[in-house]
Every structure is written in C-alpha cells, then in structure tokens.
Structure 1
Amino acid sequence: MGSEPPSRIKLFFAFAAIYILWGSTYLAIRIAIDTIPPFLMAGSRLFTAGAILYALGVRVGHPRPTRLHWRNAALAAIPLFVFGNGGVTWAEQAVPSGAASLVIATLPAWLLLLDWGYGGRAAPRFVELLGLGIGLSGVAVLSAPGGINPIGIGVLLFAAIAWAVGSLLNRYSELPPSPVRVAGMQMLIGGLVMVVFGLALGETQRLNFAAISVKSMAAWVYLAIAALVAIPAYTWLLTVTSPALVGTYAFVNPVVAVFLGWGAALLGWVVADEIASERTGIAAGLVVLGVMLLVWPRKKPEAAQQARSTEPTEVAAVGAGE
C-alpha cells in the first residue's frame, strides 16, 4: 500500500466482509458442529483456507516470509484462532449462535483496554468506560442464573479477549506486508494446532464421515470461503485504520447473527433455542449500546480547535493550552 491512504471503495468492501460475512459465520458454525466435532471442524476449514491463501501469495510472487515473520505469525495465530475462533466454536455446542455473537461483541472493550495498556493509546474517556460497563452488564444478564450456559459464556469472554490480544499482536508485530500472506500463514498455523488439539481430545471417536449431514458440510464449505475473504480483509484493516474502528464489526455481527438464527430456527435448520428470549433481547440492547459508546469518535485536536475558534487570538490560546 505504501504511504498512500486506502481508497474508500477498498475500505467499504473490507468492512462489508467483516460486518456481514462474519455475522453469518456464527450460525454456520452452529450448523457445522451439529455433525462435525468442533476443533476438527474449525481446524480443518482454517487449514484449508490458509493453504489456499498461502499458495496464492506464492503464485503472485510475494517475498518469502522470514523466520521472524513465522514466529510473529504464530504468536498471533494462537490467540486469534486456537483460543478465539476455537473457543467460539466449542462454546456454540451449548450457547445459541445469536447469544455467542453478543458476548463476542464485547471485543472493542478489550481492544480499547489492551491498546491503552500496551499500544500507547490515550487513556479511556468517561463515555468509553461507561460503554464498557454497560456492555459487560449485558453479558451478565445473559449468564445470570436461568440464562445462557455460564461455562459457555466464560469461554466466549475468554475467546473475545484472546482475539483482541491476537489482533493487537498483528497490528504491532513485524509481519509480511501482504495481508493475504499473513492471513494464510496464521490460518495454516492456527488450523493445524486446532486439528492436533481435536485429535488429542479424542474427537476422532465422535467423527463419523457417513453421519455428516449435507447442511453441516455446506456450512463447512461456507466457513472456509468466508475465511478466505474476511480474514485477509480484517488483517489489512488493522494495518490501515485503528483497532477500535475495526472492532465496530462487533456490534453489527450480533444483528446479523440474531436475525439469521431466528430464521434458521423457524425453518427448522437448527434447534429452537436460537429464537431469542426476552432476556436475550435486553442483553442485546445493553451490549450494542455499550459498544456504540465505546466506539464514539474522539474529536481530533485540530477539529476541536477550529470549532472553538472565532478569532485569531482564541486559536492561539487553544493551541497553547493543548
């Protein structure tokens, strides 16, 4: 990309990929793991997508990654895919896809706090701390007694934090300049580790190829295709814009996931607990409101200076004060 700012059309399609495609993956995961064990399902689809992306990078002549690149890719791939995506996939055995997306919607909060603590970001403002509290209260509503499986909620929170850690490692580590190459490397590593993890957990004993449904296989293919498009887009966005802005996908995804979950349940594609309860609706409102406050735009110093200036002496005073 060089030093030139990214075009609006590239930004539009990249954000569309992580907003819409990722929103739909929650339901696809739920359908896929109906008849395919979770870690073998997630690992095999990521490894397949990663191999395709890596081969594409080789074909177009991208420079060969160095040992440092592979090390940094692995350091980010473990929290991103093994703990992040793997955690979501495992948790959806007990948590409806719409509710899972709501918990993962807390991602901007973890990006904010981690980027503040380790990435040199300015301290959170009051409105951001308020958003953090409101968003987490929504998660508390989901996991309160009589609600969603608390172990599943805990795993999903851990997955969201892990994804935030991996995202910031991607942003601040030395990696190949090609988002396609980086995504391919990390999906290869993450997918392989998840497959090994699934084998260690004995998932092969639950794997019956003859029993894999057409719906689960179609969902697996869709997830692999979504990874081919959305993950390079996400990796690229992290390098050209702020992590908090990229994290806004987290409050669009639940809307997509919840509506798809309702439709799938009504059509009989998944079990009926995908139809949201009143508790889920309240939690959704709190989480979405919290995330909106978290990504409330900061006023740029020069914009604030211009807005408050009415004559040259005031401009000078503002500049000196800041």
Structure 2
Amino acid sequence: MNNARRPELLAAGAALVTVVAWASAFVSIRSAGSSYAPGALALGRLLSGALVLGVLCAVRREGWPPRAAWRGIAVSGVLWFGFYMVALNWGEQQVDAGTAALVVNIGPLLIALLSARLLGDGLPPRLLAGMAVSFAGAVVVGLSMSGGGGSSLLGVVLCLLAAVAYAGGVVAQKPALGHASALQVTTFGCLVGAVVCLPFAGQLVQDASDAPLSATLNMVYLGVVPTALAFTTWAYALARTTAGRMGATTYAVPALVVLMSWLALGEVPGVFTLAGGALCLAGVAVSRSRVRRPAAPEPRADDERALR
C-alpha cells in the first residue's frame, strides 16, 4: 500500500464502518423503541456507550482531553449526543417515514453550510451536486416506505430540531479533534450527553423493569456499536476530512437501512425504494469524488539545459 494514501484509505474505512453501524441502529430502534420511551432509550444507549468507551480510554490511558478541546466536546455532547437522540426518538414516533426522511436529512446540508461559514470549509460543486442527488434519494426512500400514518406538527418540529442539533454538534466537534483524539472526543461527548439525559433516569428504570429482554439487548447494542464504535470511527474520519464531506457520507445510511430491513426483517423493498437507495449511493460517490488534476508535463531536454 502506498504510504501516502494510507491515511486516506483508513479514513474512508472508518467512514464506512460508521454508516453501516448507524444504518443497523434503525433496525434495533424498532425493537427497543416499542418498549422504551424516547428519553429513556437515549439515556440507556448513552450509558451503555459511555461504559464501553470509558473502559477503552482506561486501557489506552487516554486521560482527560486538553482544555482547548472542551468547548467543542461540551457543545457536541449537549447537541448531538443528548438533544439530538431524544428529539429524533420522539419525533419519529410522531411522523411518518416520508416526513422524517425529508426533515432529518436536512442535517447534512446544514453541516455543509455551517462548516463553510464557521470553519472556512469550501463548497465544491461536486459536493453540492452529490448532496442534492442523495437528498432526493433519501426523500424517495422515506416516501416509498411511508406507512401513511400521518404527521403531527410537533413531530415535524422535533425532526427539524434534531437535524439542526446534529449539524451544530458535528461542526462543534470538528475543532475539538484538532486538540484531542477521536476516542477522547467521543468518550467525553457521550458522557456529556448522558448527563443531559439524566432527567430520564426514573423512566429508564421503570421501562427496563417492564421491557422484554430483546428490547433491552437492542438498547445495549445501540450503545456499544452505533454509539461507542461508530461515533469513534466518525470522529477519526472527521479529523481527516471536511465536515461537509463527512455529512454527505451519511446519505448512504438510507440505502443501507433498506438492505438491512430486507435481510433482517424480511421487508422486501419496492422499485421506488430501490431507486431511492441507488440515488443515495450515487450522490455519496459524487460528493466524495475529487477532480483529477492533469499530470505536470515532463521537462524537455532543451528546458533542462536552460536550467543548468
């Protein structure tokens, strides 16, 4: 492997792990969400993730993050790990899949705009074009899988707030990764989110006493894989690319959810669902592609003599 490309390939692999794990979360949420209230589910997930991350930090002797990283960790912990998870869990109980897909997937677009404004990231045409294609695909997937259950104004507002919190959390996390490791940023962000969700502790205890084992195991899985593992690999990849490109990568999640629902739940996707998933993946490919620069021409013999 070319040593110059190794960091880029590792970052791409980390991003792939993230989107696969986050896609699997939707399957687990269907089981756990039927037995746990939105706030209780978020707290249980964060506590499970924080426990695993804390052990990893202790084994690796990571220690406390530097003071310069704490602002980004605190903001991302409150917005993304805390508020986002509760708002999304609650919002998806109030709206149909089509509305959720339309509103929540505004998040990556907001990330690109906020990172350009606050972090100085560029908005290359390929990124914008790819995100537009992926967003259209996400809406098609959501509408095609919609159960026609209707939507409430509260649910729309909650999904919108979740998208805004997601975008704000990602943009806040990016500078923190310049001062602390991906594991530190993820671990302490998860702890901050758990503290934010502590008011739901009583509900968590009550729901856990009544919930079937399968629902509780799915909640623990959400904490270990989509939170502890996926948020760490996300932070690793985010530290090595722009926030806008990482946000665009998450548009692969709807396509993977379709595939996993097909394999795990036996939900055979329709033609429009498959077409929407293909659009999502195509948009991600476009947004992460780079313009190939022509190779510099080799110097001619007379040019070399002139330089001597």
Partners of 2:38 and 2:90 within 8 A in 1: yes
Q: SS of 2:120's equivalent?
A: coil
What does residue 115 of structure 1 align with?
A: 115
Match of 2:212 in 1: 213
Match of 1:233 in 2: 233
Whether contact under 8 Å (1:6, 1:240) holds in the other structure is no
Superposed CA RMSD: 3.9
Call closer, same or farther: CA 1:86–1:249 in 2, change over 3 Å: farther
Q: How does 1:1-322 map to 2 (within 5 A)?
A: 7=7, 10-95=10-95, 100=100, 104-123=104-123, 125=125, 128=128, 131-132=131-132, 135=135, 139=139, 142=143, 149=151, 151=153, 152-173=155-176, 176-196=179-199, 198=200, 203=203, 207-226=206-225, 227-262=227-262, 266=266, 295=287, 297-299=289-291, 303=293, 306=295
Report the 3-state secondary structure (helix = DSSP H, G, I; strand = E; otherwise coil) of the residue aligned with 2:250.
helix
1:231 offset after TM fit, Å? 0.9
Q: Scaled by the length of structure 2, what TM-score is found?
A: 0.75
1:116-136 residue CA offsets vs partner (Å, 9 max, x unmatched): 222212345387268538826
Per-residue deviation at 1:148? Answer: 5.2
Q: Is the 8 A contact 1:102 1:284 kept in 2?
A: no
Q: Which moved more, 1:170-179 or 1:226-235?
A: 170-179
The amino acid that maps onto 1:74 is A
SS of 1:220's equivalent in the other structure is helix
Letter in 2 for 1:132: A
Q: Residue 135 of structure 1 contacts residue 291 of structure 1 at CA under 8 Å; is this kept in 2?
A: no
The alpha carbon displacement at 1:65 in A equals 2.8
2:303 corresponds to: none
For residue 206 of structure 2, give the secondary structure of its aligned residue in structure 1: coil
In the alignment, the residues of structure 1 paired with residue 68 and residue 222 of structure 2 have an alpha-carbon distance, to the nearest angstrom, of 29
Q: Is contact 1:106–1:136 with CA below 8 Å preserved after alignment?
A: no
Partners in 2 of 1:137 and 1:13 — Cα distance? 23
Is the 8 Å Cα contact of residues 137 and 278 (structure 2) preserved in structure 1? no
* Contact 2:133-2:279 at 8 Å conserved across structures: no
Change in Cα spacing, 1:57 to 1:134, as seen in structure 2 (3 Å) is closer
- The verdict on how the C-alpha distance between 1:219 and 1:97 changes in structure 2, with shifts beyond 3 A counting, is farther
Give the corresponding residue for 1:319.
none
Contact 1:131–1:289, Cα closer than 8 Å, also in 2: no
Offset from partner CA, 1:259-295 (integer Å, 9 cap, x none)? 33355554xxxxxxx77678867766666666565x1
1:138–1:283 contact (8 Å) kept in structure 2 = yes
Letter of the 2:198 partner, please give it: V
Where 1:240 maps in the other structure, the secondary structure is coil
Q: 1:39/1:55 Cα in 2 relative to 1: closer, same or farther (>3 Å)?
A: same
CA gap of 1:9–1:276, structure 2 versus 1, over 3 A, is: closer
Residue 138 to residue 182, structure 1, CA distance change in 2 (3 Å): closer
| Secondary structure at the counterpart of residue 177 of structure 1 | coil
Q: Distance in 2 between matches of 1:82 and 1:121?
A: 26
Task: Name the stretch that deviates more: 216-225 or 148-157.
Answer: 148-157
Between the aligned partners of 2:136 and 2:152, the Cα distance in structure 1 is 14
The alpha-carbon deviation at position 207 of structure 1 amounts to 3.0
Contact 2:174–2:239 (CA<8 Å) still a contact in 1?
yes
User: For 2:179 and 2:54, how far apart are their aligned partners in 1?
Assistant: 12
| Secondary structure in structure 2 of the residue aligned to 1:79 | helix
* Alignment: residue pair count: 293
Instruction: Report the Cα offset of residue 93 of structure 1.
Output: 2.3
For the residue of structure 1 that corresponds to 2:255, the secondary structure is: helix
Percent of aligned positions that are identical: 23
Which consecutive unaligned segments of at least 5 residues does structure 1 have? 267-273, 313-322
Unaligned runs of 5+ in 2: 301-308
Alignment CA distance shift 1:176-1:127 (3 Å): closer
What's the secondary structure of 2:197's corresponding residue? Answer: helix
